[in-house]
Every structure is written in structure tokens, then in C-alpha cells.
């Protein structure tokens, strides 16, 4: 059989550790700043691999992480997949019930957890109805034990292990990573990333059409490493031999600003909320952004005002679009060469779109009549994508696999236009998830919870634009007949607070007479948004230019 060796992640580590042995990895850890080289990183990663072996982790086992962005988390990124196991990054901001579900669904054997997140995980463990955590053990990141969980400290876990490891040859179809996506209905759906998917994603994102990184770059992913591998940046930065900077637990704008200044960050990435925070911080403090060349904005649309602000600082904003199902990068809004001479407004309009699909992917846009739309920036339909790093199925979810995939295409659920230049723009979405500070809130789940109150006849929850968080949930409630509206609002709030994290709770609860419906009787979120967009509760809070483009 002709063909080369399998496409796996480990040679990226080999390259960095050998060609860039002295290049630094800098991390704001729970226990202080950590600063070491790729050579030391390789040693510690090998020690972790030996520790995982000794613990009994075998090929195909799933190992969870419940962590922010830091160097120890990064060590799991290469160690776990490169021994043939699967790295399952768990989003610690999910409600307990979702955490319980996904640990059970993924059958994690071991979970690495941050000190600061141990209480949250302990709560999910304590509240578990069944045996979701029965076979799971914990390693807490750092040198200290946890007060909240029975867990081995990470430094004890790897202590005394050999700094060499005889890495096995791994099949490229071996699952190497895993991440759950929050849908609108039901439980989160797991997406597995094979070695090959992560390899292809790494290479494709390093091209000029993606997010190229080289040995003169200093790369800082602010996007959490529990969000689809921080958009793959820890892998691509390693392959490119870049210095890496990890901003640690719950980074504040001040932390981000000082890391950019002190470490000479050239490329960073995060959701708009992160950059709005930095912009606000810079308006009140003297911050030197002179090393910064590129800011990747994703998760929600990049407001034009943000692109302009960074342009003024000499920093290029690249708007990237992707999905958990796509490992995650799909398109990047590079300005095409023949638009370099266009007027600034035209350029801004193009750069604010979801962008141009990177090499290796294909897409088509299917309208309600199952026809492909014209690329005229006006017709719209559902975006379908396929490619080597686009999943073809969800993990153990046959019912979703029936509806969300067709002939190898992923039906994204996003409704888009495509203009004459090939730029994709999301104009609506079938899924009505609410994107709040880079996190997704299921509107349908909140609606169902609100409607569980006896005095509620109907309720719809939609995301409304929010300057800092992009979107916040607002509940529109039709009360039952004769209900005391004065007591209903606090009752609903109290009920939701019992079940959901604080950031899931609607900012406002408004009474309406009826929830508008579509022809098929479904709630029409689009109509709600249009009808109530100028409601006094929302009006005036949201400068138009800070709102996401999508709605």
C-alpha cells in the first residue's frame, strides 16, 4: 500500500522540541507564573505520559480536563493523544446536569481539574443522581491537594517519572480529542477529533488563508482551551515553533494587557467580549500594544467598531468562523487582494463577515426548496460544509446523526448569504442559542424551565444584543389568566437560580400577550426579536455598532 506515515500530532511536538528547544512557553498558572522552554515542555509531557501509563490509561481511554488555559493543561494536549488516549476538554461553565451527562456519556476515566474549578466539579459530583463519576478519579492542577475533591496533585502525579517516553505509532483514525457542543434541545452532543482531523486542521489553519504562525510569533489564546482546543492554537503554534503564552484562570482585561506588553504577544484570539474588555481597559490605562499584529475574533461576529479600533492601533482583526463540529475553524475573513484598493467601508463590510472558507473545505448553501442559492449576497439558505476536519457524526447520538448530516455534509443550522466574492455571512440561525461572553445558553432549555411554572402559559427566550456580553437572555412570558404578575417574576427567577448558573439567568422577564408562531406552530424567535427589538427594556442599552451582525 503506498502512502506516508499516519498523520498524528506528535511530530509537531518533536519539531518544536528539537528546532525550537529554547523557545519559551509562559503561563499565568494558579500557583504563579510559569516560564519554561519547549525542551522542558517535552520533558514534562513525557513525564505525564509515563504517569498516565503507570496509572493505567490505555489506548482509546478518555481523559478529561476541567481547566483554564495554562501550561499544565497544555501538557495534557500532547501527552494524552500521543499515548493513544483521547483528550476530552470539559467546559466548566456548563450547568451541573450537563457536566454529569457528558462525563457519563464520554466515560472519562481520569479528570484533570483546576484548583479554582474544583468546587464547581465537586458540586457536579455531589449532585450526581447516578454513578456518573463512579469510575472517575481526579488530578488537581498544581502541587497542593484540593479541599473540595479527593484528587492527586499534578506535580505528585508526574513526580519521579522519566523524561523520555517511547511514543507509539498511532493510527491517524484514532480519536485524539473530544468536545461537547451545546445544542438548542436536549443534552450536549459530543464531537470526537481523530488524530487526522487535528493534523489537517493544524496544517490548514497555518496557511495564509487561515491563521499563519511562525517562529517570530508570540501566540496567546484567550479563547478557553475547553472550547474546541482553543481553536487549535496550541497545536498550530507548536507546529509553527511560536512562543506561547497562556493567560490562566479567569483572565481579566488587566491580565491580558500585561501579558501582551510583557511577553510581546503578536497573535491573540478570543470572543468579542474579551476584546471589548481590553478596549475599555485601554481607554483608562496606558497599554503598549505595539507588538500585537493580529487579533482573531470568533464565537460571535466582530463588531465593526472593534475592527476600526484595532485598525487605529495598527492591529489587524481577523474574524474567524467555525463550529465545534469543525475542529473548529471553517472560514477566516481575510481581505481579498482585489479588495485592497476598495474604500474603507467596503473593506469593513467584508472583514465583518464570516469570511472565506479555508483550503480543504467545501460548502454549499441550500434554500427552502433544496436548491443551491446564488452568490449575490442576498439569497440565503442553510450552510452545509464538509472536509477532512469536519465531523461526520456525533458521539453516541444516532438521532442527531439522522438529522444533522447528509451525504457526508454537516448541516450547520446557520442561515447565510454568500456574496460575489465568496464571503459567507450568517444572517440568522435555526438554532437559537444565546451567545453570552463566548458561552452558549440554550434558549429552549430556559423556555422549558420557565414554562414549568404553573402560572406561565407560554414563554420564549431570545438573546438580545448586549454591549459587553454580545447577547443576554430575555424571557418573554405569557402569564396564565388572573395570575399576579408582581409575584410571578421573582418566583421564576428563584426557580431558575436553583437549576442554572447565574450567568444563564435572563436579564429581564417581560410579559407579552402571545408568543408569535410560525406557520407550523413553532415559536418564531425571529418575529419576537423584530417585534420586541425596540422594547424599552432593551432600547438604549445597546449601541448599534457593538451588537453582533447576526441578528
Q: At closest approach, how far in Å is the CB of 39 from a copy of itself?
A: 12
Q: Which of the ranges 88-96, 125-133, 389-397, 445-453 carries the binding residues for a copy of itself, by CB under 8 A? A: 389-397
Pick 190 or 253: Cβ nearer a copy of itself: 190
Q: At closest approach, how far in Å is the CB of 10 from a copy of itself?
A: 9
Output b/e per residue, 316-340; b: 16+ Cβ within 10 A.
bbbbbbbbbbbbbbbbbbbbeeebe
Alpha-carbon 438 to chain mean position: 7
Pick 7 or 182: Cβ nearer a copy of itself: 7
Within 157-176, the residues that bind a copy of itself by CB under 8 A are 169, 173, 175
What 3-state DSSP class applies to 34?
strand
Pick 303 or 387: Cβ nearer a copy of itself: 387
Cα gap 512→295, rounded to integer Å: 41
Query: Does residue 509 touch a copy of itself according to CB under 8 A?
Result: no
Query: Does residue 337 touch a copy of itself according to CB under 8 A?
Result: yes
99: nearest Cα among 118, 121, 114: 121
* 151-153 vs 137-140, strand pairing mode: parallel
**Contact residue for a copy of itself among 2, 56, 160, 486 (CB under 8 A):** 2
Active site residues: 181, 325, 435, 440
**Contact residue for a copy of itself among 4, 130, 486, 521 (CB under 8 A):** 4
Q: At closest approach, how far in Å is the CB of 424 from a copy of itself?
A: 11
Query: Does residue 59 touch a copy of itself according to CB under 8 A?
Result: no
Element (H, E) at 484: none
Residues 455 and 479: beta-carbon distance below 8 Å: yes
**Contact residue for a copy of itself among 32, 60, 168, 208 (CB under 8 A):** 208
Q: At closest approach, how far in Å is the CB of 375 from a copy of itself?
A: 8
Distances (CA, A) of 453 to 51, 58, 437, 458, 523: 50, 47, 28, 10, 18
Q: At closest approach, how far in Å is the CB of 126 from a copy of itself?
A: 32
Pick 361 or 415: Cβ nearer a copy of itself: 361
Cα gap 355→45, rounded to integer Å: 36
Task: Count residues binding a copy of itself (CB under 8 A).
Answer: 62
C-alpha grid cell, residue 393: 457524526
Cα gap 438→90, rounded to integer Å: 15
How many of the other CB atoms lie within 10 Å of CB of 111?
24
Query: Does residue 39 touch a copy of itself according to CB under 8 A?
Result: no
Cα gap 313→278, rounded to integer Å: 12
Query: Does residue 199 touch a copy of itself according to CB under 8 A?
Result: yes
Name, in order, each residue with C-beta under 8 angstroms of 198's C-beta and a sequence gap of 6 or more. Answer: 9, 81, 176, 177, 229, 232, 235, 327, 389
297: nearest Cα among 278, 284, 325: 278
Query: Does residue 386 touch a copy of itself according to CB under 8 A?
Result: yes
Note the residues at the interface with a copy of itself (CB under 8 A): 1-7, 11-12, 14-15, 18-19, 169, 173, 175, 192-194, 196-197, 199-200, 202-204, 206-209, 212-216, 239-241, 334, 336-338, 340, 356-357, 359-362, 375, 386-393, 395, 408, 421-422
Amino acid at each position: 500500500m503506498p502512502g506516508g506515515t499516519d498523520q498524528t500530532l506528535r511530530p509537531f511536538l518533536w519539531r518544536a522540541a528539537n528546532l525550537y528547544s529554547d523557545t519559551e512557553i509562559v503561563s499565568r498558572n494558579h500557583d504563579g507564573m510559569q516560564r519554561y522552554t519547549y525542551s522542558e515542555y517535552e520533558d514534562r509531557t513525557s513525564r505525564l505520559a509515563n504517569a498516565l501509563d503507570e496509572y493505567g490509561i490505555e489506548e482509546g481511554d478518555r481523559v478529561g480536563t476541567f481547566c483554564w488555559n495554562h501550561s499544565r493543561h497544555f501538557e495534557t494536549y500532547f501527552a494524552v493523544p500521543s499515548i493513544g488516549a483521547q483528550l476530552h476538554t470539559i467546559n466548566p461553565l456548563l450547568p451541573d446536569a450537563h457536566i454529569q451527562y457528558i462525563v457519563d456519556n464520554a466515560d472519562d476515566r481520569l479528570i484533570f481539574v483546576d484548583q479554582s474549578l474544583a468546587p464547581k466539579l465537586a458540586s457536579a459530583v455531589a449532585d450526581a443522581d447516578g454513578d456518573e463519576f463512579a469510575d472517575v478519579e481526579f488530578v488537581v492542577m498544581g502541587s497542593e491537594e484540593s479541599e473540595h475533591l479527593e484528587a492527586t496533585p499534578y506535580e505528585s502525579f508526574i513526580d519521579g517519572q522519566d523524561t523520555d517516553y517511547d511514543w507509539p505509532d498511532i493510527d491517524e483514525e484514532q480519536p485524539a480529542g473530544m468536545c461537547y457542543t451545546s445544542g438548542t434541545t436536549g443534552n450536549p452532543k459530543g464531537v470526537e477529533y481523530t488524530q487526522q482531523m487535528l493534523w489537517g486542521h493544524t496544517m490548514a489553519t497555518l496557511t495564509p488563508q487561515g491563521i499563519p504562525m511562525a517562529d517570530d510569533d508570540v501566540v496567546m489564546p484567550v479563547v478557553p482551551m475547553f472550547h474546541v482546543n482553543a481553536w487549535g492554537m496550541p497545536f498550530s503554534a507548536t507546529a509553527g515553533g511560536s512562543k506561547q503564552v497562556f493567560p490562566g484562570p479567569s483572565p481579566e482585561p488587566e491580565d491580558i494587557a500585561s501579558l501582551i506588553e510583557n511577553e510581546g504577544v503578536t497573535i491573540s484570539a478570543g470572543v468579542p467580549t474579551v476584546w471589548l474588555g481590553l478596549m475599555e481597559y485601554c481607554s483608562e490605562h496606558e497599554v503598549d500594544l505595539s507588538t500585537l499584529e493580529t487579533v482573531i475574533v470568533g464565537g460571535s461576529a466582530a463588531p465593526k467598531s472593534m475592527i476600526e479600533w484595532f485598525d487605529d492601533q495598527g492591529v489587524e482583526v481577523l474574524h474567524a468562523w467555525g463550529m465545534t463540529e469543525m475542529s473548529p475553524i471553517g472560514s477566516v475573513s481575510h481581505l481579498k487582494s482585489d479588495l485592497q484598493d476598495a474604500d474603507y467601508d467596503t473593506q469593513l463590510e467584508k472583514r465583518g463577515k464570516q469570511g472565506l472558507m479555508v483550503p480543504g473545505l467545501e460548502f454549499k448553501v441550500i434554500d427552502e426548496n433544496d436548491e443551491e442559492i446564488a452568490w449575490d449576497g442576498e439569497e440565503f439558505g442553510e450552510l452545509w460544509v464538509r472536509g477532512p476536519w469536519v465531523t461526520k457524526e456525533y458521539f453516541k447520538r444516532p438521532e442527531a446523526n439522522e438529522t444533522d448530516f447528509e451525504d457526508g455534509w454537516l448541516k450547520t443550522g446557520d442561515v447565510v448569504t454568500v456574496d460575489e466574492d465568496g464571503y459567507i455571512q450568517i444572517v440568522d440561525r435555526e438554532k437559537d442559542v444565546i451567545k453570552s461572553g463566548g458561552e452558549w445558553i440554550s434558549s429552549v432549555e430556559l423556555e422549558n424551565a420557565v414554562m414549568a411554572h404553573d402560572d406561565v402559559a407560554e414563554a420564549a427566550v431570545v438573546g438580545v444584543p448586549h454591549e459587553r456580553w454580545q447577547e443576554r437572555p430575555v424571557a418573554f412570558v405569557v402569564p396564565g389568566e388572573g395570575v399576579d404578575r408582581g409575584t410571578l417574576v421573582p418566583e421564576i427567577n428563584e426557580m431558575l437560580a436553583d437549576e442554572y448558573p447565574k450567568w444563564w439567568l435572563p436579564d429581564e422577564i417581560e410579559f407579552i400577550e402571545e408568543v408569535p408562531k410560525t406557520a407550523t406552530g413553532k415559536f418564531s424567535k425571529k418575529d419576537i426579536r423584530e417585534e420586541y427589538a425596540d422594547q424599552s427594556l432593551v432600547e438604549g442599552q445597546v449601541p448599534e455598532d457593538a451588537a453582533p451582525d447576526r441578528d
